[in-house]
């Protein structure tokens, strides 16, 4: 586990292990420890993990998904329809869906792949918000891509 910084905060609720402060009141004093990009909250009395703190609770900007203007609405709709309104990675339905690149735009730079090929239907996938954020700027690995292609071929 890699710790990047530690700060002290007021926890949203008392320690879940029943710790008390010096005046015998429930302890609400915690340490924020940023671990691999996630803010975790720990009780300063017992040193036990309490919860993962969302950026909104900490007053920080939330991560936003960049929408690429060069993918037309008609293309997005085709991708959603091809996936039957479900995430092509985890299968989630009835969630916010995004169109994502299989070979990322970043990875295509410096290659002979044209922008038209990068934004072609064959290089686009329908992902739920969680999978899309999880992938970030990464391209699908070959095994994941092969699984996606097999799934698409079975649905055709």
84-106 pLDDT, tens digit per residue, is 999 999 999 888 889 999 999 88
Residue-wise pLDDT for 44-72, tens only, equals: 999 999 999 888 888 887 665 566 667 88
Distance (Å, whole) CA 54 – CA 57: 5
CB 45 within 8 A of CB 21: yes
**Cβ contact 70:84 at 8 Å:** no
- Cut 0.85: pTM above it: no
- Across 2-6, 56-60, 63-67, 113-117, which has the greatest mean pLDDT? 113-117
């Amino acid at each position: 586990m890699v710790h990047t910084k530690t700060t002290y905060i007021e926890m949203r609720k008392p320690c879940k292990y029943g710790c008390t402060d010096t005046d015998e009141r429930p302890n609400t004093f915690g340490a924020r420890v940023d671990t691999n990009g996630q803010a975790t909250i720990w009780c300063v009395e017992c040193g036990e993990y309490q919860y993962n703190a969302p950026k909104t609770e900490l007053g920080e900007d939330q991560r936003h998904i960049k929408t690429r203007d060069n993918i037309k609405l008609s293309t997005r709709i085709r991708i959603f329809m091809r996936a039957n309104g479900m995430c092509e990675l985890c299968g989630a339905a009835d969630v916010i869906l995004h169109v994502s690149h299989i070979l990322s735009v970043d990875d295509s730079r410096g290659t002979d792949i044209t922008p038209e090929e990068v934004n072609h239907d064959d290089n686009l996938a329908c992902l739920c918000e969680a999978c899309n954020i999880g992938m970030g700027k990464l391209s699908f690995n070959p095994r994941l891509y092969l699984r996606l292609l097999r799934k698409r071929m079975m649905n055709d």
